[in-house]
């Protein structure tokens, strides 16, 4: 038995952060029903007959939609909304990712649904939250991390900030905070019997991720200049170095003893005095010797390949890591041992590989029960489960209420 077995979640999202949130819940047994727009209303389209099978195959490989069933509903039609209400009547959770106000205009907002199902937990993921002066502004990860100050911390001195893909606000922010919010609300419902609204802001979530840095500012006025402090590459003991094969290796020698281990490993005992000290946590001392140390270390790392250095450094108990390219990730023995690459047999497509499950529970582990559906694959199955006859299903399809 999986820990979320029996929990029914309706997914009303069309962007990866919301899909990842539900993927994690689905991996632990939740029954996820993905509500998608009919093709005529902007849903995932099978572009034409020639592309249909190829697109269906591509959908199957999408890990974000594993353990889900897909139904196409036209929520702009009264008939489509009535189907949604039937789905919601015995659901536990609804997750939506619209701009604030859109769900209400479609008649699928929390206030409407809780009249049908008072136990519903309704999680809304939005860029700036459901209220406030920015709530209606458009945005993406780069905008959310800009407002929170996170973007300004990342990169090198005198250069524009480095954009960290969309890891922070989208995935570490909204996805994971969505999971936590839903789980807390489910736990609360066990005590009270009541559902509630869960308001997850991408931007707010980044503020939580930045707690360590922001509290340093609030207490002591520390501003963490970009690329110049201890954990942003400003010192020789915490950065990446190029090896002789052009690949990079990362060092994380914050503790003085790890820096000393590094100095032993590279045969430069004379550099042991240049380890981390709290006095220059935020900024290098105005001493040219630090740059000389970094230059010396750079030259040494250019004498061997990345993998050769990794073996040497690990033997000397140095915190080091290969900076893997994305095509190297799933050759890493640690990640393979931890089952962070999953492989499945598909009747038509053969081997399907997907990222694994990070949360390791000893008694109720996660698992992949089904691969991702193509859009609308389970419409008839779910309509039948809701009590619709074949004639009613066909009539609703002809009316473009379902797809």
Three-state helix/strand/coil letters over 78-126? HHHHHHHHHHHHCCCEEEECCCCCHHHHHCCCHHHHHHHCCCCEEEEEE
Which two three-digit tokens encode residue 403? 């797809």
- pLDDT at position 53, please? 64
- pLDDT at position 280, please? 67
Which two three-digit tokens encode residue 34? 């993905």
* Domain chopping of the chain, boundaries: 8-210+373-398, 240-331
Q: Terminal CA-to-CA distance of the chain, rounded, Å?
A: 33
- pLDDT at position 122, please? 98
Residue with tokens 């609804």: 94
pTM of the model: 0.93
- pLDDT at position 50, please? 46
Residue with tokens 């010396």: 296
CB distance 347 to 354 below 8 Å: no
CA atoms of 140 and 19, how far apart (whole Å) = 16
Q: What is the four-CA torsion angle of 122, 106, 386, 394, rounded to 10 degrees?
A: -160
Q: Which contiguous run of DSSP H or E holds residue 201?
A: strand 196-201
- pLDDT at position 80, please? 97
Fold of 8-210+373-398: Rossmann fold (3.40.50)
- pLDDT at position 39, please? 80
Phi then psi for residue 196, to 5 deg, are -165, 170
**Who's near 74: CB < 8 A, 6+ residues apart?**
37, 38, 40, 41, 80, 400, 401, 402, 403
pLDDT along the chain (403 residues), means of 10: 96 96 98 91 47 67 94 96 98 98 98 98 98 97 98 95 97 98 98 98 98 92 87 91 98 96 97 84 71 96 98 98 97 96 88 95 96 93 97 96 94
- In CATH, the number for domain 240-331 is 3.30.1540.10
- pLDDT at position 348, please? 80
Q: Fill in the DSSP letter of residue 73.
A: B
Judging by beta carbons within 10 Å of its beta carbon (0-12, 13-18, 19+), is residue 142 exposed, middle or buried?
A: middle
């Amino acid at each position: 038995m999986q820990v979320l077995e029996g929990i029914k979640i309706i997914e009303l999202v069309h962007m990866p952060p919301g899909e990842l949130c539900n993927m994690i819940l689905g991996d632990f047994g939740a029954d996820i029903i993905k509500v998608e727009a009919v093709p005529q209303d902007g849903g995932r389209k099978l572009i034409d007959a020639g592309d249909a099978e190829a697109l269906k195959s591509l959908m199957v490989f999408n890990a974000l939609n594993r353990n889900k069933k897909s139904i196409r509903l036209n929520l702009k039609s009264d008939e489509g909304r009535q189907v949604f209400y039937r789905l919601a009547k015995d659901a536990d959770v609804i997750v939506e990712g619209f701009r604030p106000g859109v769900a209400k205009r479609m008649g699928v907002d929390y206030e409407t649904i809780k009249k049908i199902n008072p136990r519903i937990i309704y999680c809304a993921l939005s860029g700036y939250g459901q209220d406030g002066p920015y709530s209606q502004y458009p945005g993406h990860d780069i905008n959310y991390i800009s407002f929170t100050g996170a973007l300004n911390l990342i990169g090198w001195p005198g250069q524009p900030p480095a954009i960290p893909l969309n890891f922070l606000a989208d995935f570490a922010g909204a996805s994971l905070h969505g999971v936590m919010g839903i789980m807390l609300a489910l736990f609360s419902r066990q005590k009270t019997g009541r559902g509630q609204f869960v308001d997850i802001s991408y931007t707010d979530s980044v503020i939580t991720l930045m707690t360590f840095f922001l509290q340093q500012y609030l207490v002591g006025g520390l501003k963490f200049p970009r690329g110049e402090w201890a954990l942003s590459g400003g010192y020789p003991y915490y950065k990446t170095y190029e090896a002789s094969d052009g690949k990079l290796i990362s060092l994380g020698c914050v503790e003085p003893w790890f820096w000393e281990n590094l100095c032993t490993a590279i045969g430069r005992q004379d550099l042991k005095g240049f380890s981390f000290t709290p006095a220059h946590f935020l900024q290098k001392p105005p001493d040219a010797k630090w740059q000389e140390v970094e230059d010396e270390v750079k030259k040494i790392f250019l004498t061997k390949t990345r993998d050769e250095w990794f073996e040497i450094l690990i033997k000397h108990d140095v915190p080091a890591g290969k900076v893997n390219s994305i095509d190297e990730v799933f050759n890493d023995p640690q990640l393979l041992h931890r089952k962070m690459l999953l492989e499945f047999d598909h009747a038509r497509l053969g081997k399907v590989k997907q990222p694994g499950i990070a949360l390791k529970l000893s008694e109720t582990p996660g698992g992949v029960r089904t691969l991702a559906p193509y859009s609308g694959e389970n419409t008839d199955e779910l309509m039948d489960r809701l009590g619709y006859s074949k004639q009613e299903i066909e009539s609703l399809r002809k009316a473009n209420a379902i797809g």
